[in-house]
């Protein structure tokens, strides 16, 4: 019994250490801005996909400073009735960003789909780099999603600073990051392995059937 309890205690400690390392990586990566210029900026928005004034103000300022020529607006839509992109576009226009510089890339149901939408915009407009503008704790997941979608060059400009008030959103981000990894990497790999195993099992079954038929044919040819 003690061995079982000890095993679960070690498992819990390992899990806590893993989560702690994840939190540390999210914070350090998010606070580490990379790159000063890009072809376009991507404004991430709040956790629910709605616009964030601080992020939009940062995007408008950096646009005026000439750090990028266009701003991609692409939300994660949890509320289909709310047009976050229209609100974002209006805010940017009111802050002297011309409508010709704003690209609405469509709403995605999750981070992966949002990244696919952005990657399509990058491809269609022959862009080579994107600067993420958003809360520091969402930088890692957004960056990984864009890289996975095929956006090769990514800069980052975070909004906000680390504090105890971010404990809850960081905790949510840890869960969201694990969920993203599962649905984007682990689940597809497991499904691929399952399909390959099923294919190999079918081939083995077919080969076994042919072998049985060959043996039966040979037996039928033997003198009776």
Q: What is the pLDDT of residues 145-158, one digit of tens each?
A: 999 999 989 999 99
CATH superfamily of this structure's domain 32-161: HUPs (3.40.50.620)
Confidence tier at 174 by pLDDT (50, 70, 90): very high
Contacting residues for 15 by C-beta, under 8 A, at least 6 apart: none
- Average pLDDT taken over every residue of the chain: 85
Instruction: Say if CB 162 and CB 40 are below 8 A apart.
Output: no
Residue 211 has pLDDT above 90, yes or no: no
In terms of pLDDT, which residue wins out, 69 or 197? 69
pTM reported for the whole predicted model: 0.80
In terms of pLDDT, which residue wins out, 168 or 7? 168
Query: Given this model, what pLDDT does residue 148 score?
Result: 93
pLDDT tens track for 113-128: 889 999 999 999 999 9
Query: Given this model, what pLDDT does residue 49 score?
Result: 62
The domain spans of the chain are: 32-161, 163-219
Query: Given this model, what pLDDT does residue 82 score?
Result: 53
Query: Given this model, what pLDDT does residue 81 score?
Result: 46
Sequence-ordered strand ranges (E) for the chain: 40-43, 70-73, 102-104, 129-135, 153-159
- Give SS3 for 31: helix
Instruction: Say if CB 111 and CB 74 are below 8 A apart.
Output: no
């Amino acid at each position: 019994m003690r061995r079982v309890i000890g095993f679960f205690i070690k498992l819990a400690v390992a899990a806590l250490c893993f989560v702690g390392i994840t939190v540390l990586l999210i914070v350090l990566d998010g606070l580490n801005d990379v790159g000063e210029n890009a072809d376009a900026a991507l404004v991430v928005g709040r956790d629910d996909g709605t616009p964030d004034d601080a992020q939009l103000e940062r995007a408008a300022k950096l646009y005026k400073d000439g750090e990028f020529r266009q701003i991609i607006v692409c939300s994660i839509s949890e509320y289909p009735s709310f047009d976050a992109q229209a609100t974002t576009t209006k805010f940017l226009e009111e802050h002297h960003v011309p409508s010709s510089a704003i690209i609405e890339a469509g709403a995605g149901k999750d981070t992966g789909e949002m990244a696919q939408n952005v990657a399509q915009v990058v491809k269609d407009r022959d862009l080579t780099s994107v600067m993420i503008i958003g809360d520091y704790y969402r930088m890692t997941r957004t960056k990984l999603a864009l890289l996975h979608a095929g956006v090769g060059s990514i800069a980052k400009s975070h909004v906000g600073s680390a504090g105890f008030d971010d404990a809850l959103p960081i905790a949510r981000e840890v869960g969201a990051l694990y969920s993203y990894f599962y649905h984007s990497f682990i689940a597809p790999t497991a499904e691929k392995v399952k399909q390959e195993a099923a294919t190999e099992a079918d081939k083995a079954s077919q080969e076994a059937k042919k072998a049985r038929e060959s043996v039966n044919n040979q037996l039928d040819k033997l003198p009776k």
